[in-house]
Amino acid sequence: MTTQDTIMDGAPPDITDNAARNRLVIALLLGSTFVVFLNETMMSVAIPQLMADLNILPNIAQWLTTAFLLTMAIVIPITGFLLQRMNTRPVFMLAMSTFTLGTAICAAAPGIELLIVGRIIQAVGTAIMMPLLMTTVMTLVPPETRGKTMGNISIVISVAPAIGPTIGGFILAYLEWRWMFILMLPIALGALAVGSSRMQNVTTPRYAPLDIASVLLSAIGFGGLVYGLSSLGEGEHVGAAFPLWLPLVVGLVGMAVFVWRQVVLSRQDKALLDLRTFLSRNYTFAVLTMAVAMMALFGTVILLPIYTQNVLGLDTLQTGLLLLPGGLLMGLLAPPVGRLYDRIGPTKLLVPGTALVSVVLWALTRVDQHTSVWAILVGHIIISIGLALVFTPLFTAALGSVRKEMYSHGSAILGSVQQVAGAAGIALFVALMTIRTQALAGEGLEPVSALAGGIQLAFLVGAVISLFAVVTAFFVRKPEGGGMPGHAAH
């Protein structure tokens, strides 16, 4: 990393000043990322109550999360363009302003339709924030200490999901769901105000083209796949309008054409997502492992509150408290995992981590209305330990495996795959749960037993999917040279 890469235009090349400025920028980005992540996870415990308050089915309620993730997957590719064309401060202001607007819309929403619109607008801001954070860190932090820095980032990314459901459960125990957004609004405004006055530019913008056809193709591809999976849970309602397989086919064709166009445009350095990042085998295996882990994780995360509240009979606050120890432990483990990555690399962390996640998911295939709450608590703690061993090594190894000039593309692709896999996991799991629950109810089972059976099937699919992550984890290595210019780790 050269001095020119890390100083503002017109600022003297003072290394001490640059170090202080870099710490400030990373701290502001971390704080704002904490806010947007807190918002995302607060919703997880609210789904069952929203289903009751708004009189909606699970396949409709899931779109509060699925639409959020799908929007992120569509917008994140565009952030690769934004991060090249715009400087740090305007990109930050765009992200937090959009997120704050979405939060205000959610707070005022009278029903599910406008609530989903607000969530989509929130997701646009969140989608810009994550690649901005990751690309900035990869630009400012030298390779030899990236594991430690990513570990510190993981504290924020872990603690927010940990306390998000607890705060959401506490709010829902005493107030209506709308207060989750009303209370979030001043926090978002505060982050926006602080960032507006303190955020500094740390990158050098350059020309980058925006291919509109690629944006449209990514929306068709990602949207078709996720909507197609979601429609499986709606059965005859969607089938009456058009075949269930049609959105999936449209999505697959859209993705195929999108990939072809990116390959062609990358030869002219005009791709929306430059797929040459996949020339690094290490990056490819890290992205595959991340995709499988996120698909299993998000699908499980949305089912767990439904299970604890509708099958075990816990309230929202009890569900939030149940998820708190595991999330906090994940945050506490992040710094030592980051330091271990710098010393021993990713493989020795990823293999046991993915194995722990898989073991817990297989155990969850046995849950029913008689399962002990303590067993769920222990299982969530174990799966949190596994995830703590997975995410920091994957982010660091993946982004460290691409050339420096490809950081924005590498970060955008990783984020897109992460969100699409998460959205697909949620859609698939809820669809399987809904179909199986309806089938068991049709056989005469009582509602709680039928729902437990549906959840068992969804967890079984998650467990099978998790086995692929265990396999790909063996192939992720520590990048040689840390992805410095002219180098792509293989």
C-alpha to C-alpha distance for 43 and 302, rounded to whole angstroms: 9
* The pLDDT of residue 161: 62
Return the higher-pLDDT residue of 145 and 308: 308
* The pLDDT of residue 272: 79
| Lowest model confidence (mean pLDDT) among 8-17, 103-112, 117-126, 373-382 | 8-17
Residue 146, pLDDT > 60, answer yes
Residue 235, pLDDT > 60, answer no
CB 459 within 8 A of CB 467: no
* The pLDDT of residue 482: 45
- Average pLDDT of the residues in 2-7: 38
* The pLDDT of residue 467: 92
Q: How many Cα atoms are found within 13 Å in the side-chain-facing hemisphere of 426?
A: 26
* The pLDDT of residue 260: 93
CB 386 within 8 A of CB 357: yes
* The pLDDT of residue 79: 77
* The pLDDT of residue 120: 92
Residue 405, pLDDT > 80, answer no
User: What rounded mean pLDDT belongs to the chain?
Assistant: 79
Please classify residue 313 by burial: count the beta carbons closer than 10 Å to its beta carbon, then call 0-12 exposed, 13-18 middle and 19+ buried: exposed
> What percent of the residues of the chain are helix, what percent strand, and what percent coil, each to the nearest 5?
80, 0, 20
Buried b or exposed e, range 129-163, using 16+ CB within 10 angstroms: bbbbbbbbbbbbbebeebbbbbbebbbbbbbbbbb
Mind listing the pLDDT tens digit for each residue in 438-458?
889 888 888 888 999 999 999
- Average pLDDT of the residues in 159-169: 72
- Average pLDDT of the residues in 221-244: 64
- Average pLDDT of the residues in 223-251: 68
* The pLDDT of residue 144: 66
| Lowest model confidence (mean pLDDT) among 12-26, 128-142, 186-200, 471-485 | 12-26
List of residues 6+ apart from 437 with CB closer than 8 A: 450, 451, 453, 454
Confidence at 242, pLDDT banded by 50, 70, 90: low
- Average pLDDT of the residues in 272-290: 87
In 7-111, where does DSSP find H-type helix?
15-42, 47-53, 58-61, 63-85, 88-108
C-alpha to C-alpha distance for 31 and 209, rounded to whole angstroms: 31
Residue 257, pLDDT > 90, answer yes
C-alpha to C-alpha distance for 474 and 266, rounded to whole angstroms: 30
Residue 367, pLDDT > 80, answer yes
